[in-house]
């Protein structure tokens, strides 16, 4: 079925926000916070910031919360009661203003969370979330979506993709069934398409490397300890890259409370030394270089191999957030160009 | 708020304040029942995080008490504790946590009366400050 | 910069050091840490207003230590960090060459801790007037306003521990947050856990922090962590007359005491 193209404008979008609020939906959108711009719950379009190239964090918290209760427990007289979360009770959410790279990331997350064990909470959150993306009119040196099959105007993963066409007007591509339902429920807020060329409003992001080369190159470089040591000498082993990343899905599970309490799931990072530390004290990845190698291997070799999807969308957040400028694009170029 | 019964946790050292509290009891002095006493070998052992854990677990007020300077059973434990309290108090205040909710004291094994006065005064202070909702609200916040 | 590059070349060619830890040009016109081992790569060294990272953090990293004897391009904060690490018995003397770079671009090699001490003595180790003024603004805010300010700030904390990783003085090979018997600081980044982590971090740096600001620069969500550290720096000086990072042999403020430490708040 051919994708329907419509048009809308800021005024209509503001009304759409009000409608979503009236329907009890949570709206997550980029919002200024000090000198950073990040996804936060908003109630009106006025709060939304769209001039930035990218936000600090991804919107993955909508489907993979930073801290999530899995169940609560209490015990009394030797009996233990467990109260599971009701997947039907997750908040209905609209993510507004994310970029095409962020929209593409949901399929990477879904590949992990529905792989060998169907994660009901994740699936419920994903089903309850509508994605209204905004294409990119600007990019910076950290962006490399096109090298991974994405693009500043790519529609994959969005339910509706908006493209700013000047003067407050937007082209609106209705990508999915969810998108069609949003439009159907929005009265006259989406008008027929206007005769504008979407491409003319998009940023240019040159392809930086051949992505088909990366997997085999990584495999060939696996034993090259000097290569990995060189790349990772300045890495401090914090979790910033994993936490801002839209596709990173590693998590920890923690029980809090005592006789009664909660089981929580929270984000984790393969960059931490603790990540693979055994109770015995043995660590299969004792060096930061091995942990850095694992990060790239997981995203560009293991995930494509096992889940047929890349673990990276080229958003560049990790590079921007890294306190020591571990620029993943630079590192991938080095991988692609390395002579084994 | 007249029926508010403040929960107060007291972190005390074994050799002085705990013994002093014992004396209060054996002397049949009555004092506010709001306090739960936790016994430590020395105030030097009291980790500042324990105070935050007490607040997180529902305490509205805290007492921290030990031997007078120069009387510490381990010579200098209370001196180290004092330094820690000075710095921690400043940090709590800077973070917007009301330091009137934490009462520090030196109560010796002979000061049974002082212990009773201390607990009563602290209970009254906390009663006036009210339940520590601001802190207890943090529990569960940020969990989806 | 050419003086610095020449010095690096000379040090490496003569094998006086095995690695020069300095700054190179990074992404988006910024600087990043570089580890020069080949004298031919010394051209990559820079030193300008973008060179802010406290490179002393790499002195505690096993992967860097095993490169061998190092020269470190040291900002004033890095120099104080070296002295603080020395005071905490983390660095042996005579095994590190600190390269202080003056405003004019001259390189001052400091091969011993006493040389670093002499150099640091000429610096102002106090908080700047602007920093003090900013602290006073927060102090004047009032308790409730400060509480809501920090509640909002910590609600954004991710517990990514970039602050910890960036800090040269957070060098514990097994950080307290990594112990789970008991799990003293909660792992999940909920509001309570975030407050507890940030309190812990500030307290564990009390009397040690040299105010380099790397924690705040590292924070991906822009929490002004430096405020906590600066408040404690000011208080530790006001209450105990103590400043960190000035001498290779020094007491630690939090493991010593004076008989007359202030106790007006103690009943």
pLDDT tier, A187 (very low <50, low <70, confident <90, very high otherwise): confident
Mind telling me how many Å the CA of A317 is from chain B's nearest CA?
23
Residues B92 and B99: beta-carbon distance below 8 Å: yes
Residue B113 burial (C-beta neighbours within 10 Å; 0-12, 13-18, 19+) = middle
pLDDT at C57: 98
Does residue B2 sit within a domain? Answer: no
Q: Is the pLDDT of residue C166 over 80?
A: yes
Partner residue facing C143 (CB), from B96, B142, B143: B96
Strand ranges inside C191-245, DSSP E = none
Per-residue model confidence as pLDDT tens digits over A37-78 = 999 999 999 999 999 999 999 999 999 999 999 999 999 888
Q: SS3 breakdown of chain B: % helix, strand, coil, rounded to 5?
A: 45, 15, 35
- In chain A, count H helices and then E strands: 11, 12
Percent of the residues in chain B that have a pLDDT greater than 90, as a whole number:
97
| Residue that is written with structure tokens 């002004």 in the block | C224
pLDDT at A120: 95
pLDDT at A3: 85
User: Average pLDDT of chain B?
Assistant: 96
Which ipTM was obtained for this model? 0.95
Percent of the residues in chain A that have a pLDDT greater than 90, as a whole number:
92
Average pLDDT over residues A209-234: 94
Residue B39 burial (CB count, 10 A): 13
Per-residue model confidence as pLDDT tens digits over C125-155 = 999 999 999 999 999 999 999 999 999 999 9
Residue C235 contacts B where some CB pair is shorter than 8 Å = yes
Average pLDDT over residues C57-82: 97
Residue C29 burial (C-beta neighbours within 10 Å; 0-12, 13-18, 19+) = exposed
* Contacts A61 to B, Cβ<8 Å: 144
Chain C 163-202, residues with CB within 8 Å of chain B CB atoms: 184-185, 188-196, 199-200, 202
Q: Which of A296, A100, A106 is nearest to A214 (CA)?
A: A296
pLDDT at A340: 62
| Residue that is written with structure tokens 């040009």 in the block | C25
The domain limits of chain A are: 4-201, 211-337
Rounded Cα distance between B32 and B55, Å, is 19
- CB contact under 8 Å between B142 and A66, yes or no, is yes
Mind telling me how many Å the CA of A80 is from chain C's nearest CA?
22
Does residue B142 sit within a domain? Answer: no
Chain C 115-144, residues with CB within 8 Å of chain A CB atoms: none
Domain count, chain B: 1
The region that residue A24 occupies, defined by phi over 0 for left and psi between -120 and 50 for alpha, beta otherwise, is left
Rounded Cα distance between A169 and C201, Å, is 48
User: Average pLDDT of chain A?
Assistant: 95
Mind telling me how many Å the CA of A263 is from chain B's nearest CA?
11
Does residue B143 sit within a domain? Answer: no
- CB contact under 8 Å between A264 and B143, yes or no, is yes
Mind telling me how many Å the CA of C260 is from chain B's nearest CA?
9
- CB contact under 8 Å between C194 and B142, yes or no, is yes
- CB contact under 8 Å between B144 and A66, yes or no, is yes
User: Average pLDDT of chain C?
Assistant: 96
pLDDT at C104: 84
Residue A58 contacts C where some CB pair is shorter than 8 Å = no
Q: Is the pLDDT of residue A140 over 90?
A: yes
- CB contact under 8 Å between C162 and A234, yes or no, is no
pLDDT at A339: 75
Helices A328-337 & A288-297 angle (0-180, nearest 10): 80
Q: How many alpha carbons lie under 13 Å from residue C116 in its C-beta half-sphere? A: 32
Average pLDDT over residues C3-32: 97
CB contact set of B121 (below 8 Å; sequence gap of 6+): B103
pLDDT at A258: 87
Does residue B68 sit within a domain? Answer: yes
Average pLDDT over residues A278-285: 94
Average pLDDT over residues C3-27: 97
Residue of A36, A67, A144, A229 best to disrupt the C interface, most CBs of C under 10 A:
A67
Residues A310 and C204: beta-carbon distance below 8 Å: no
The b/e string for A271-306 (b: 16+ C-beta within 10 A; e otherwise) is bbbbbebeeeeeeebebbbbbbbbbbbbbbbebbee
Q: Would you call A93 helix, strand, or coil by DSSP? A: strand
Does residue B108 sit within a domain? Answer: yes
Q: Is the pLDDT of residue A199 over 60?
A: yes
Per-residue model confidence as pLDDT tens digits over A74-103 = 998 889 999 999 999 999 999 999 999 999
Average pLDDT over residues A300-306: 95
pLDDT tier, A1 (very low <50, low <70, confident <90, very high otherwise): low
Per-residue model confidence as pLDDT tens digits over B41-100 = 999 999 999 999 999 999 999 999 999 999 999 999 999 999 999 999 999 999 999 999
Q: Which of C101, C111, C55 is nearest to C78 (CA)?
A: C55
Residue B130 belongs to domain spanning: 8-136
Residue A253 contacts C where some CB pair is shorter than 8 Å = no
Q: Would you call A62 helix, strand, or coil by DSSP? A: helix
The domain limits of chain C are: 2-121, 129-244
Give this prediction's pTM: 0.96
Q: Is the pLDDT of residue B1 over 60?
A: no
* Contacts C143 to B, Cβ<8 Å: 93, 96-98
- CB contact under 8 Å between A68 and B143, yes or no, is yes
Mind telling me how many Å the CA of B143 is from chain A's nearest CA?
5
Q: Would you call B137 helix, strand, or coil by DSSP? A: coil
The larger pLDDT score, comparing residue A187 to residue A4, is at A4
Rounded Cα distance between A243 and C85, Å, is 30
Q: Is the pLDDT of residue B3 over 90?
A: no
* Contacts A68 to B, Cβ<8 Å: 143-144
pLDDT at A147: 97
Average pLDDT over residues C213-234: 98
Residues A71 and A83: beta-carbon distance below 8 Å: yes
């Amino acid at each position: 079925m051919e994708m329907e193209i419509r048009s809308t404008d800021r005024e209509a979008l503001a009304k759409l926000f009000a409608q979503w609020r009236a329907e009890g939906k949570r709206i997550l959108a980029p919002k200024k916070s000090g000198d950073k711009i990040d996804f936060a719950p908003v109630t009106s379009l006025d709060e939304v910031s769209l001039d930035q190239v990218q936000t600090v964090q991804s919107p993955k918290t909508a489907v993979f919360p930073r801290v999530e209760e899995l169940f609560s427990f209490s015990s009394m007289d030797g009996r233990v009661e467990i109260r599971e979360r009701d997947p039907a009770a997750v908040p209905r959410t609209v993510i507004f203003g994310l970029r095409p790279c962020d929209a593409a990331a949901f399929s990477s997350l879904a590949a992990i969370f529905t792989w060998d064990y169907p994660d009901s909470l994740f699936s419920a959150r994903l089903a309850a979330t509508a994605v209204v993306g905004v294409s990119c009119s600007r990019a910076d040196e950290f962006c490399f979506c096109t090298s991974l099959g994405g693009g500043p105007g790519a529609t994959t993963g969005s339910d509706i993709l908006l493209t700013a066409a000047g003067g407050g007007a937007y082209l609106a591509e209705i990508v999915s069934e969810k998108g069609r339902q949003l439009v159907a429920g929005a009265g006259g807020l989406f008008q027929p398409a206007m005769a504008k060329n979407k491409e003319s409003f998009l940023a240019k992001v040159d392809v930086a490397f051949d992505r088909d080369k990366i997997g085999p190159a990584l495999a060939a470089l696996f034993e090259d300890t000097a290569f990995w040591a060189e790349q990772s000498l300045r890495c401090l082993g914090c979790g910033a890259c994993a936490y801002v990343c839209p596709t990173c899905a590693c998590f920890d599970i923690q029980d809090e409370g005592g006789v009664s309490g909660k089981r929580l799931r929270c984000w984790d990072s393969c960059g931490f030394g603790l990540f693979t530390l055994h109770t015995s004290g043995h660590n299969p990845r004792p060096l930061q270089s091995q942990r850095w190698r694992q990060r790239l291997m997981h995203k560009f070799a293991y995930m494509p191999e096992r889940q047929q999807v890349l673990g990276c969308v080229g958003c560049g957040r990790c590079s921007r957030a890294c306190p020591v400028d571990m620029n993943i694009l630079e590192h991938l170029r080095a991988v692609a160009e390395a002579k084994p | 708020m007249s029926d508010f019964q403040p929960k107060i946790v007291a972190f005390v050292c074994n050799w002085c304040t705990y013994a002093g509290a014992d004396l209060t009891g054996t002397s049949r002095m009555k004092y506010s029942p709001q306090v739960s006493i936790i016994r430590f070998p020395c105030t030097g052992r009291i980790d500042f995080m324990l105070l935050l854990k007490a607040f997180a677990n529902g305490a509205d007020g805290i007492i921290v008490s030990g031997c007078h300077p120069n009387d510490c059973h381990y010579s200098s434990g209370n001196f180290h504790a004092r330094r820690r309290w000075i710095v921690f108090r400043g940090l709590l205040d800077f973070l917007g946590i009301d330091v009137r909710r934490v009462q520090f004291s030196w109560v010796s094994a002979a000061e049974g009366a002082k212990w009773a006065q201390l607990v009563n005064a602290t209970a009254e202070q906390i009663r006036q400050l009210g339940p520590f909702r601001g802190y207890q609200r943090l529990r569960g916040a940020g969990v989806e | 910069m050419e003086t610095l590059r020449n010095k690096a070349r000379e040090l490496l060619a003569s094998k006086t050091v095995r690695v020069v830890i300095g700054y190179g040009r990074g992404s988006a016109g910024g600087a990043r840490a570089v580890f020069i081992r080949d004298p031919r790569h010394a051209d990559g060294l820079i030193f300008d207003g973008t060179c802010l990272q406290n490179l002393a953090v790499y002195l505690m990293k096993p992967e860097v230590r095993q490169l061998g004897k190092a020269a470190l391009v040291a900002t004033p904060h890095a120099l104080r960090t070296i002295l603080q690490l020395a005071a905490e018995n983390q660095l042996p003397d005579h095994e590190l060459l600190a390269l202080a770079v003056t405003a004019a671009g001259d390189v001052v090699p400091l091969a011993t801790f006493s040389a670093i001490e002499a150099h640091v003595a000429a610096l102002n180790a106090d908080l700047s007037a602007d920093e003090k003024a900013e602290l006073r603004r927060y102090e004047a805010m009032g308790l409730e306003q400060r509480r809501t300010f920090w509640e909002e700030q910590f609600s954004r904390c991710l517990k990514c521990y970039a602050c910890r990783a960036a800090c040269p003085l957070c060098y514990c090979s097994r950080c307290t947050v990594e112990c789970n018997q008991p799990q003293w600081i909660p792992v999940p980044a909920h509001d309570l856990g975030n407050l507890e982590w940030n309190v812990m971090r500030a307290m564990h740096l009390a009397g040690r922090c040299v105010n380099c600001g790397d924690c705040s620069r590292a924070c991906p969500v822009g929490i002004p962590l430096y405020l906590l550290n600066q408040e404690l720096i000011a208080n530790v000086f006001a209450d105990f007359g103590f400043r960190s990072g000035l001498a290779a042999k020094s007491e630690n403020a939090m493991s010593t005491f004076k008989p007359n430490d202030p106790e007006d708040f103690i009943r």
